[in-house]
Chains A and B, each alone.
Chain A
Amino acid sequence: MQITFPHMGNVHIAIKSLLEKLKLDVVTPPPITQKTLTMGIKYAPEFACLPLKINIGNFIEGLENGADTIIMAGGWGPCRFGYYAQVERDILQALGYRFKMIILEAPDSNISELFNQVKDLGENVTFWEVLKAVKFVWHQINAIDQMEKAYEYHLAYTSDKESADKILSTGLAALDNCFHKKDVDRVCSDTVTSLENLPRHNKPVLKVGLVGEVYTILEPACNFNIIRFLGHMNVEVTRSIYLPDWVNDHLFKGMLKKSNRKEVYKQAAPYLNYWVGGHGRETVGCTVGFARRDFDGVIQIGPLTCMPEIVAQSVLQRVSEEERIPCMTLYFDEHSGAAGVYTRLEAFIDMLERKAAAGLNIISGRIN
């Protein structure tokens, strides 16, 4: 059994090592390129959201590289993601691919369902081995997260942006080849240290919150690598969603670590008082949180026609007025013109810079 899976940022490192620990042959789909997207666009329904299109591209490339099994997550709505796997299977079968699709449904009631699904997936693995695999992967996920966080922070403050990019990509590549906890720790701390040792500039750094739909935030190919672009403009980006939180909240129902979701929901009121599927409520709650922690601005990103994000977007204007924080919404779809997106981001950052500069003047004016 040759198994393939969809990309989502750097998650492929974790999925690959999980499947390998379950003694499965893994075909990691090639990194997302324009070709991936083109194939996805060609075969996916026109009005489906972007992640589905990219998934289809990943699967086709994975199947063409020799995979015969696809692993995909499910869900029970109301977000469209829950029905992705079904539509994707139909599309690929109609294209003539022969494969088996394993759909991991999010546990409805208790956590052992997920463990059993994972166990059934593996060949001749004991429950103990599954537990060990999950533990290792959780460790790896946290390492990825630490490296990404360090990168996002230091990228804004360093004058040597290219080296920062290089350090992260080498670090992630090294992490991909780790099989022991010790190696993971070493790669992680090495990467973080070299990022810390980069030369610094002393220009002002803006703090921007990045909120929105999880796939768009985690997958650079889906958002024109917005975090790197902002970092190169001396903007420190803090995200509303980090990988471990997402895994913890959505796959393990908050069993792996303490969840801050309740806090976020509290902040979302009174702007958004009910869950709306996807990450709509988190988007609003985190925007309020960023505003109260004196961030300079918030950027909301999501795939075009994402339902929960539209709900969030339509209340963000009120949040922006009442919490006094500039907000911008960017939707991503099939268009591939990065320049248009970058121009808008530059304009937004320029505006934030001026606002910050004006704010400083007012304060100094008062002191004098």
Chain B
Amino acid sequence: MIKADSRVRKKGAGKLKRVGIPRGLFFYYYYPLWKSFFVNLGAQVITSAPTNCLTVQQGIDSMVDESCFPIKVYFGHIKELCREPIDYLFVPRIVSVERRSYICPKFMGIPDMVRARIKDLPPLIDTIIDYSRDNKMMDNEILKAGKLFTSKISRIRDAYQAAYKELQFCKALAGQGYTMAEAINLWEGIPQPRFNCDTHLTVGLLGHGYSLYDQNISMNIIDRLRSMGCKVVLPEELDKQAIESRAALLPKRIFWTLGRKMVGSALYMAQSQDIDGIIYVACFGCGPDSMVGEIIERKIAGKPYMLITVDEHTGEAGLVTRLEAFCDMLKRRRIRNGADHFSPHG
């Protein structure tokens, strides 16, 4: 979050180099790593404010219409950071975070799209994150980014090692029922309320982290479900190996990291007795989601399932109505335990 005094400071004031990290896309998966890395190297990290109307508006204005909503929001965050006195803007090119799997073509073109569409950019740190073949290239990329701040290679390596531990810590928090967004807040020292209301339903919530944990994109779906008395189970809480083993049941390995995680989680949740229903939050125009949503719907027959597509529309009432209807259906199913009077599809 931008501190009030940071706006007053002029560019170059003080010795610290300032790095801007947009609060979008893989922020919710890797922010602790990125922040600690730059802070360990003696930089100051600035993030944009949580997504708000202005972010959305600026994002929609600066990105092509056909793009998906999270990408537009990301552009909004970059626009906001461009007004801050920062020395570098961290816009990684995230190709792949594991062997032979990708995220999405749009992630692979992000730095180029940003350069093409936003004028007056600060220098970009466009680290290429690509683990699809080996880790060697990644090593070089980390050193390249680190060399902007220090010439000592050992210091860069130490900074990365320490930062990686911070990420693990944050992920451990997320395993305890916090969302990644809450875990990041906790990690930054902002206390988070625990939702301890008496839950009578358990809902598995799937979706890409950058849409689920962004309260604006997902229209706050997690808190809405919680306030309706649902315990929300997120993919981050599930055992990673269990997810992988379920996803491996498909005849062909899914080559999108997030897509495979979603299918694996859905299959896992479908077999779990504790989970009453599954909600999938997809983004309008998302390529992998159009396939993954279909696969899930076909593979989890018997478990109530609802696909919610979000984009820049702001009609929250529509979402609330659908959630309420879905929860009502789950409750009735529970009362008439075992009876199949209600369609399992929301």
Interface flag for B250 (CB, 8 Å): yes
Tell me if B285 is interfacial: C-beta within 8 Å of chain A.
yes
- For B293-311 the 0/1 string (1 means CB < 8 A from A) is 1110010000000000100
- Chain A residues within 8 Å of B113, by CB: 311, 314-315
Q: Is there an interface contact between B256 and A310, defined as CB atoms closer than 8 Å?
A: no
Count chain A residues whose beta carbon lies closer than 8 angstroms to a beta carbon of B.
Answer: 42
How far apart sit A79 and B282, CA to CA, in the bound complex (Å)?
18
**In chain A, what residue has the closest Cβ to B100?**
A76
Contact of A311 with B105 in the complex, beta carbons under 8 Å: yes
Interface string of B75-106 (1 = CB under 8 A from A): 00000000000000000010100001111111
The answer to whether B295 touches A308 (Cβ under 8 A) is no
Q: How many B residues face the partner with a CB closer than 8 A?
A: 42
State the Cβ distance, B291 to closest chain A Cβ, in Å: 5
Measured CB to CB, the closest approach of chain B to A331, in angstroms, equals 6
A31 CB–B CB distance under 8 Å: no
Interface of B: prevailing SS: mixed
Flag whether A318 is at the interface (Cβ < 8 A).
yes
Does A304 sit within 8 A of B, measured CB to CB?
Answer: yes
Contact status A274-B285, CB under 8 Å: no
| CB of B290 closer than 8 Å to a CB of A | yes
The answer to whether A273 and B288 touch across the interface, beta carbons within 8 angstroms, is: no
A48-B291, A276-B105, A311-B108 known; A86-B252 Cβ under 8 A: yes
Q: Is the CB of A276 within 8 A of B108?
A: yes
Q: Which A residues form the contact surface with B (CB < 8 A)?
A: 45-49, 74, 76-80, 82-83, 85-87, 90-91, 94, 271-278, 280, 304-308, 310-311, 313-315, 317-319, 331
Q: Residue-by-residue, is B51-73 near A (CB-CB < 8 Å gives 1, otherwise 0)?
A: 00000000000011011000000
Residues of B contacting A79 in the complex (Cβ-Cβ under 8 angstroms): 105, 287
Residue among B101, B284, B291 facing the most chain A CB atoms (10 A cut-off): B291
Contact B291 A313 (CB under 8 A): no
Having A74-B252, A319-B116, one finds 14 other A-B pairs with CB under 8 Å, namely A45-B290, A76-B255, A80-B291, A87-B294, A91-B294, A273-B112, A274-B95, A274-B108, A276-B108, A278-B105, A305-B287, A311-B105, A311-B113, A317-B117
A315: contacting residue among B100, B112, B282, B309, CB under 8 A: B112
Contact of B290 among A47, A280, A308, A313 (CB under 8 A): A47
Most chain B CB within 10 A, of A82, A90, A277, A314, is at A314
Question: Quick one: closest B residue to A304, CB to CB?
Answer: B66
Enumerate 17 A-B pairs (CB-CB under 8 Å) in ascending A order: A45-B291, A45-B293, A78-B102, A78-B103, A79-B287, A80-B290, A85-B252, A86-B252, A271-B112, A272-B109, A274-B93, A276-B105, A307-B105, A310-B64, A310-B67, A314-B109, A318-B117
If A77-B255, A314-B63, A314-B117 touch, whether A277 touches B250 (CB-CB below 8 Å) is no
- Asked if B254 is an interface residue, CB under 8 A from chain A, the answer is yes
- Closest Cβ of chain B to A309, distance in Å, is 8
Binding site for A on B (CB under 8 A): 63-64, 66-67, 93, 95, 100-106, 108-109, 111-113, 115-117, 128, 250-252, 254-256, 282, 284-291, 293-295, 298, 309
Given A45-B291, A45-B294, A80-B291, verify A315-B116 contact (CB < 8 Å): yes
On chain B, the residues within 8 Å of A277 by CB distance are 102, 105, 108
Q: Distance in Å from the Cβ of B127 to the closest Cβ of chain A?
A: 12
**In the bound complex, how far is the Cα of B64 from the Cα of A331, in angstroms?**
13
Contact partner, A280, options B109, B284, B293, B294, Cβ 8 Å: B109
Complex interface: chain A residues within 8 A of B295 (CB): 86-87, 90
> Which residues of B are found within 8 Å of A308, using beta-carbon distances?
105
> What residue in chain B is nearest A75 (Cβ atoms)?
B255
